[in-house]
Structure 1
Amino acid sequence: MKSSKSAHFLGSLNLNREGGDITEKTITSTSQGLNLHARYWTPKSDQLKGLVIICHGFGEHLGWYDEIGMLLAANGFLAFGHDHLGHGKSEGKRVIVNSISIYVDDIMQHAATVKKQQQDGLPIYLYGHSMGGMIAISAIIRNEQFFRGMILEGALIIPDPHETTPMKLLAVHLLSPILPELQIGNIRVEQVTSDEDIQTKFQDDKLRWSGGFKLKMGLEFYKCLVDNRAKLNTITIPMLILHGQNDSLCNVVGSHTLHEESKSKDKTLKIYQEARHHLILENPDIREEVLTDILTWLLQHTQ
């Protein structure tokens, strides 16, 4: 673990996930005119410490974030987010967009709306997992001053070298305009987490996309990753970067690269040696450690 601050708030953490409410509503993606399913984890106390917008990963939805959402709410943070277009309960073609910037626009629009509603200058933090980490980095590069800090968990930061060989990239560029929804590969639940109970629930989740990766989406991922990679050294925001050493979906090298290349003076990198991809869905021991690390960092940065 590399850290610029010590964890000295442990005694004040509420790890019981009590003291918050879950609400849902529909918001609109202004650029696309489609409905997005939004989720809010709201503290029962009127005294807010800050706001956290959660940016979920590919194929999943915000229903998988209730544990961290309630933990944050119990400790005075308003956590919120929405299912990306084409994901979960949101409208749109399943798991495909014409540009990742559409996701970024939706995140920024939602974050700005909630921040304005609070009207008291509360700090706002951006949390991104996997594809959501890629989206979060893109949002930070575009509008870093809007956020107080960024938390990345198993973030997608660099392309998979095995999937981005010159021949494969050429094939994607040639075929994606003709067969944009052609599916290749898929995500196995065993790659997501080592927790067998979560694996079963993940497999049975009807809202989760269980199909393959669409060619057009793959091309847009690659474009965004290349653009982000060229600008990692422009990031100066405080960051907490978390990654599982056994992550076979998003290369852990990306988190090391971001930590090394960013210009942030306040940045923490922690690698969980036995963990796979989705840290907040890992086995209970790892999950509790990750949630404690996230909450501790947030409390440190709101003092």
Structure 2
Amino acid sequence: MDRALTSRFEISTTLTPFRKSSLAITRRISPAIVFAKRAPIDGVSEELNLIASQNLDQAPERRRVRSAFIDLQENLDHCLFKKAPFGIRTEEWYERNSKGEEIFCKCWLPKLGVEIKAMVCFCHGYGSTCTFFFNGIAKQIAGAGYGVYAIDHPGFGLSDGLHCHIPSFDYLADNAIEQFTKMKGRPELRNLPRFLFGQSMGGAIALKIHLKEPQAWDGLILVAPMCKISEDIKPPKLVLKAIILMSTLFPEAKLFPKQDLSELFFRDPSKRKLCEYDVICYDDQTRLKTGVELLNATRDIEMQVDKVSLPLLILHGAADKITDPTVSKFLYEKSISQDKTLKLYPGGYHCILEGENDEDIFTVINDIVAWLDTRSTPK
């Protein structure tokens, strides 16, 4: 689940600083690097709220906060947690990548005695982690007989890196390739089909992975993918040039204005309230370099959609105002895959796997499992 996205690119009011001296710019930008303190969570002890309010810029602090909240998270009143299949095996570990960063990894396997049908590798969205809502989603897919594997991208969740700072979008894809390649070598996955699964910004990462290694996967599942930015949302050209310049000077600065988009993510208000417990998500202003990299990534993917050749399942809420469903239609029409399916869910918002009513959430999950089942013949 993404907690901030394309609508934060509307920054016409930030033109003023670019006309001032470098000293004035520095004064304007520098305070924006300060972290935003999280609002208290209702019904949570003062001690836990104090833990959740600390600066999460670096991974050690995020790991401590997650450890303090993990039991509470797994017992929340949400269908993904309350109706989790029995006996799902999980494993968490860290892998040091080629840049020396510790990357958080997790897998969910069917209960003992159930043969694994295929490997499903997940890429999470902007600001998010694979340890909160996706924990419940993964258990549902594992309960259908699949081995589900995921990472927190560098700078996100429990992995090393400045929180939600993307110095290079290609690096996110390259790191995912590195980690998923290691996972493919696990003995339980020998000779099994391999599928990529990306949600929102994670959909862009999954597409990048496929474009970098087109023969390495057996299929691609995309949920509300971020693969093209609407012209109505993109900053004006002059503003964009100024942003690019500023991102080279102050890459970590938080300049994009923060907006409360929670009502656009989750249609079910009771599930929207549970987002407060996603305590290691990034819920602050978008960093300058991150914003530029997201724009560049979508532009690059848009120019290469005619190279998308894998069996393709695209799922999107028809009422999504975060990533436009017409973008999924664009991807569906332009891809050269001979096996492609587009499902639009009437009335669905951005988080169709977490934020709809129970019945609609399980409809989407069942659609994913059914698609996997017909394409999971062992190699």
TM-score, length of structure 1 as denominator length? 0.90
Which stretch of the first structure deviates more once superposed, 37-46 or 147-156?
37-46
In our comparison, the structure showing a higher alpha carbon Rg is: 2
Check whether the contact 1:29–1:36 (CA below 8 A) recurs between aligned residues: yes
**What is the rounded CA distance, in whole Å, between the counterparts of 1:212 and 1:297 in structure 2?**
37
Instruction: Show the 5 A alignment for 1:193-212.
Output: 193-212=266-285
Partner of 2:362: 288
Partner of 2:195: 125
**Deviation, structure 1 residue 46:** 5.5
* 206 and 139 in structure 1: CA distance in 2 versus 1, 3 angstrom threshold: same
Q: Which runs of 5+ in 2 are unaligned?
A: 1-82
**What is the rounded CA distance, in whole Å, between the counterparts of 1:228 and 1:260 in structure 2?**
14
Partner of 2:375: 301
**Deviation, structure 1 residue 29:** 2.4
Q: Which runs of 5+ in 1 are unaligned?
A: 1-14
**What is the rounded CA distance, in whole Å, between the counterparts of 2:84 and 2:294 in structure 1?**
37
**Deviation, structure 1 residue 279:** 1.2
Partner of 2:169: 100
Check whether the contact 2:84–2:136 (CA below 8 A) recurs between aligned residues: no
Partner of 1:229: 302
**What is the rounded CA distance, in whole Å, between the counterparts of 2:235 and 2:121 in structure 1?**
31
Counterpart AA for 1:141: L
Instruction: Show the 5 A alignment for 1:107-186.
Output: 107-118=176-187, 120-161=190-231, 162-180=233-251, 181-186=253-258
Q: Secondary structure at the match of 1:79?
A: strand
Which stretch of the first structure deviates more once superposed, 156-165 or 86-95?
156-165
Residues 1-41 of structure 1, C-alpha deviations (whole Å, 9 max, x = no match)? xxxxxxxxxxxxxx8623411221111222x2111111110
Partner of 1:6: none
Counterpart AA for 1:98: P
* 158 and 300 in structure 1: CA distance in 2 versus 1, 3 angstrom threshold: same
Residues 216-259 of structure 1, C-alpha deviations (whole Å, 9 max, x = no match)? 11111111111111111011100000111221211212111110
Check whether the contact 1:115–1:122 (CA below 8 A) recurs between aligned residues: no
Check whether the contact 2:272–2:355 (CA below 8 A) recurs between aligned residues: no
Partner of 2:10: none
Q: Cα RMSD (Å) of the superposition?
A: 1.6
**Deviation, structure 1 residue 171:** 2.2
Among all aligned residue pairs of Structure 1 and Structure 2, give the percentage whose two residues are the same amino acid. 26
Structure having the higher strand fraction is: 1
Check whether the contact 1:130–1:153 (CA below 8 A) recurs between aligned residues: yes
TM-score, length of structure 2 as denominator length? 0.73
Which stretch of the first structure deviates more once superposed, 200-209 or 254-263?
200-209
**Deviation, structure 1 residue 110:** 1.6
Matched, 1:55 2:123: yes
Check whether the contact 1:202–1:208 (CA below 8 A) recurs between aligned residues: no
Counterpart AA for 2:236: T
Instruction: Show the 5 A alignment for 1:4-19.
Output: 17-19=85-87
Q: Secondary structure at the match of 1:281?
A: coil
**Deviation, structure 1 residue 268:** 0.2
